[in-house]
Every structure is written in C-alpha cells, then in structure tokens.
Structure 1
C-alpha cells in the first residue's frame, strides 16, 4: 500500500491533480515512463488511460490513443448519445447482455438496463465512471501502477461483492501490460476489458490507411441490435477477413473468435509504429469510432470523428452467460479471475 512516501513517488511519477469528482474526491493523473522514452498516463476515474506516447525515429513522440483534456470532459462524455468510454476500464460485464438478464445457478438475474432493453458495459454507471484507489506504484525498472475498486453486492443487480484490481506495467521492451484480477463473495459473472481507442498516426488523425491483422477465422453472428445469436460466421471471403493485413474498416462493431494469444496487429506506414496485442481472452471486440458528435473536443483541441481510431476490447464473448457453448463467464465464489492483455509497440 502507498502511505509514507507519497511525495517522493509523486515526483518520480510526474503525478498531478486532474480534477475533482462531484463528491470532491481528488482525481490524479499518473504518468509512467521507461528508459526508451515511451510513456503512458492514467487517471483514477475509471482507471482510464489518457495517453500513450511512443517515441518515433524522428525524435518525436506520437500519442496513439484518444482522450480528453479534463476530468469534466470524461464525465460529460457519458451523457453523449453513444458514450465512447475513451480509455476506461469496463465492467462488471463488457459488451451486451440480452434483455439485461441471465440465469445463474438456476435463478434468473435481472440487471439494470442502459441500452434499450439490454445492458451494455456494466449498466447505468459501470466501472468506467467509478473512483479507483491507487494501491501500489513501482517506479523503477518496468514501472507499474495498480488501482482497485470494490463493487458492492447487487451493484447494477450483479450478485456478490466483487473486488477488482487492474495493474498497468510498462516494460523496457515498450509493452504496456494490463492485468485484471478479481474475486467475488458469491458466484457471479464477469467480463472486464480496457477500452482505449488507438490511432498509430496520432490521436487527431484518421485510421483508414493503417494496416490491420486479426487472428480469427470466425466472428460472432449478431442480431440487428448487435446481440449474439449463438452462431458463428466464417470469415472466409468475408469483408471482415483480416487474416492478411489490409486497411482498417471504416465501420465495425463485431466480436472476433481468436485463434491464439497473438490477437491483432496494427501498423502505420506514416509513423512506422507497429502495435501487437496479445491476450489470454477468447475474443476481441473491435469498434471503429471516436465520434463525440461535435459536443466535446478531444485533447489538444482535436475534433474526433467516426474514423478517428479503432478500439480493441479483448474479452470474453458478449452475452456469454446466455449461451452455454460460449466460454463461461461465471466466476465462482472466492475463485480468482485473471485477464492479461499486452499492447506491444515497435518501430519498424
């Protein structure tokens, strides 16, 4: 726990006040960097990544994720017609749950509804809008920061008190490792993800010409409301077959069934930055967006639009609790949930 050396830690980490929550809790921004000059910043509102800066061959740094300049903008973004969840941790359950309900141990659980008659990204508040406590910081080799949140029993009607922690580690190999751990006092369901939007040309650019590879042969078939039907769609000769790298799609909101831990690569010819995503999760939900409807400016006065960036939500399948043949989303009482995803950056 961080208690006695907070001032030294803050200096080493370039920590600054970011804003105040409505209940006057202080939200801080923590910036960690490695010896190669890569750095990332997070705030303890939503355990949100606000920037990831990658050194490029010209001596500059490219900020490859979307974000806002102020805490107020992050808070207000949840009032947009389609909240973007820029950089946040999403839970208890990422993605959609049909009719906001499922059966657990033979009993029906009715969740809160925040997406027509369904639930998406954990409900009315979800983890993305919560204050997270910073419980551990290491600022030496491979610097890391751990944030924790306790979801009370029956929050958004999910059973069990769930203690969640997320650790962000920055390696000397320019990897950002994200590790989620959680335990519940009762059997429950869980599906956590990191919801950053990437653009390897920089957050104010366009992703249409960046090359995307997805290590998948199938995606989840969905209804018009994007609820999984339980069937798989083969990607052979499909527009979303990215088994060979090609330009990013301009519109996508689909879950891919991953073939191995190496899930995705994205490459920019302009900056020569390549990002590889590795995960222990069975799927990745991919979404192209960033549109803030002209109501909120992105950081550095950027105008975000529908092809501003691409989001890779490594996770279990949406609506898995309602499909027995999907990977189980049940977390048994006192067992540990472990989700590991790595974002690896290279200069080619």
Structure 2
C-alpha cells in the first residue's frame, strides 16, 4: 500500500509503502533515503512491537541531518558507508577528492549521500514473502565519485520473520562502493533503551582507529578484551566500532532482550559489521509517538566492507569495476525465544 508521505523542498514527492507478511510482521519504508520508518514484530503475547527508531513525518527526517550528529535513522547509506580518510582515494593511479563532511574526512557518502536522495519504487510484491524494490541512479561526479552508478535495493519480509536486504549495483566506469543499512534496533521497543539487552558478535578482531575514528590499518585482537562479544553480554553504553567477521554468510551478530525473550540474528555476506549505539536527537526533534531519543535508544548493525578500505591495500577490495556487479545481502531474523 503506497501513501503520500511528504514533499522535499525541491518539489519531489516522497511516498510511504507498508508491507506485511502472513505472520503479522509489518514494515514501512519511504522513498526518501530508501528509509525504513517502522518495523513491527509479533510477540508471543500477540503485541506488535516497533523495534526500530524513526520519525512520524518527513520534516523530521529532513531536519535530522542538521543535528550536530545526524542519526541516519533507518536509511540506506552510500556511495560509501563509514569514513574515508582526508576524503581522498587513489583509483587506477588517479587521486579522487571526495566531498568532506566529517572534519576533513568523508562520512557516509558525503554532504548529500544516498540517505538524503529520492529513490524510486521499481517493484512491489504482495502476498507470501512480500517485497519492495527501490532504485537510485547516482550520476558520474555526484559527491565527486566517478561513474554512473545504478542501484537496486530490495526489502523482503519472509514468512520466517526475516527482514532480507538485497543490494545490486553496476557502474559505467570503475568506482568505489560500500552500501549499508542504518536502522537503530531496540528489542524493547523504539521508546526504550538497549542497556539491558545482550549483544553477540562473531568476530576475532576490530579495526584500530585514530582519534577521528579513521582505521589505522591495524587489526586488534579481541580475546579477553572489553569488546569481545563472542559470548553474549550486555550492550556497551558507548561503541562506534568495526568488527571483522569470522565467516561470510554465517551468523554474524545477535541481539537478545531478556524482558520479552525477543531475539534478532544478523547474517551477511559482507566482511564486517560496524556496531554503533546511539540515536540521540538532543531534545531538538521529537521522534515517533512524541518520544525523545537519547544516546542509548538503539543499536546499529551496519553490515559492510571496511571503512577507508580503498586506502589500505590489505583491506577487502572496495572497487566496483565497469562490467562487474556489486551484490550485498543482509538478513535480520527475529525470533521469540
């Protein structure tokens, strides 16, 4: 079901689409940033619980990018998720100077990344395993990235209460790419905190970073360290860290709420997951249901390549060549334990 959600300042129309599977799981997504605004999971007691942070109106989403730390609630991040050091990469022997929006660095695609773009609804499938496919065409030179990049993003609600995200992209010339999803999850509901929920990450190391959260190129062993979450333990109250995953397409991370016995399991074909706790709107913007979000309102599982990978030869390849296809799949599976 497609509904009008609002108008962007330049005059374009933003639509909202709601999908529901046969189990009662529902999702709302808007064409602004291909953003998930609501994700409701059926609990054992029959209650529908909204497990992602978000806003009720388009104006709030627009204004959130003017906060001192934009939250990117539920958005699709690109062309390159995470930070790129000095906003510069070397591609095919040529230096490319990207737009800076995080000190001298480029963060989450630059000044106006995919999170602030108007996506188009390409296809909707209802019934069993409903899905919506959104597309975005990023022109050569947008935020100074090379190549015309065409992206298709499909959200599917499976009958096993999975949110499945599939990204497919191709380019007219060699470029760099790193897409991710930026929902803040809270298995106690979007108007609670995550401090009593338990986190597990199947990782052997994290990326060392400097004081601007730029990777140094070194990998830090996690064994017996504070951020060793191979065994589930309480969510940290402050984290903004890239975890290197042990195995592709296996269980990468999980979140569990002992209050209602709801669990979320994360699977991805990407080499890393960036974990971030936050959601603070600094009492400047009211969120869904007139909620004031704070620094402990939600936790992100940003499955992706390594931040700043183009500037480290030993990091996984982040170059998409002309004629090749970028494919990224992530699954968030919800289960009543």
Normalising by the residue count of structure 2, what TM-score does the alignment of the two structures yield? 0.99
Aligned to 1:62: 49
Secondary structure of 1:73 counterpart: helix
Which residue among 84, 88, 93 is the counterpart of 1:97?
A: 84
Aligned to 2:270: 281
Per-residue Cα deviation, 1:6-61 (whole angstroms, up to 9, x for no partner): xxxxxxx3x22111111222211111001110011100000000011000111111
Task: Report the Cα distance in structure 2 between the residues aligned to 1:143 and 1:109, rounded to whole angstroms.
Answer: 40
**Structure 1: runs of 5 or more not aligned:** 1-12
Which residue among 272, 275, 288 is the counterpart of 2:261?
A: 272
Asked if residue 314 in structure 1 is aligned to residue 303 in structure 2, the reply is yes
1:77-156 to 2 correspondences below 5 Å:
77-156=64-143
Asked if residue 339 in structure 1 is aligned to residue 328 in structure 2, the reply is yes
Aligned to 1:229: 216
Asked if residue 192 in structure 1 is aligned to residue 165 in structure 2, the reply is no
Task: Report the Cα distance in structure 2 between the residues aligned to 1:334 and 1:87, rounded to whole angstroms.
Answer: 30
Asked if residue 30 in structure 1 is aligned to residue 40 in structure 2, the reply is no
Secondary structure of 2:281 counterpart: coil
Asked if residue 258 in structure 1 is aligned to residue 283 in structure 2, the reply is no
Per-residue Cα deviation, 1:233-255 (whole angstroms, up to 9, x for no partner): 00012110000000000000000
Normalising by the residue count of structure 1, what TM-score does the alignment of the two structures yield? 0.95
Asked if residue 176 in structure 1 is aligned to residue 163 in structure 2, the reply is yes
Task: Report the Cα distance in structure 1 between the residues aligned to 2:46 and 2:322, rounded to whole angstroms.
Answer: 50
Aligned to 2:315: 326
Deviating above 6 A after TM superposition, structure 1's stretches of 4 or more consecutive aligned residues are none
How many pairs are equivalent? Answer: 335
Aligned to 2:285: 296
Which residue among 184, 199, 214 is the counterpart of 1:212?
A: 199
Aligned to 1:19: 6
Per-residue Cα deviation, 1:86-110 (whole angstroms, up to 9, x for no partner): 0000000000000000100011111
Shift of 1:276: 0.2
Secondary structure of 2:86 counterpart: helix
Task: Report the Cα distance in structure 2 between the residues aligned to 1:267 and 1:330, rounded to whole angstroms.
Answer: 35
Secondary structure of 2:123 counterpart: strand
Shift of 1:115: 0.4
Task: Report the Cα distance in structure 1 between the residues aligned to 2:266 and 2:313, rounded to whole angstroms.
Answer: 27
Secondary structure of 2:143 counterpart: helix
Task: Report the Cα distance in structure 2 between the residues aligned to 1:262 and 1:59, rounded to whole angstroms.
Answer: 27
Coordinate RMSD, CA, aligned: 0.6
Task: Report the Cα distance in structure 2 between the residues aligned to 1:249 and 1:217, rounded to whole angstroms.
Answer: 18
Shift of 1:225: 0.5
Task: Report the Cα distance in structure 1 between the residues aligned to 2:251 and 2:173, rounded to whole angstroms.
Answer: 33
Secondary structure of 2:283 counterpart: coil
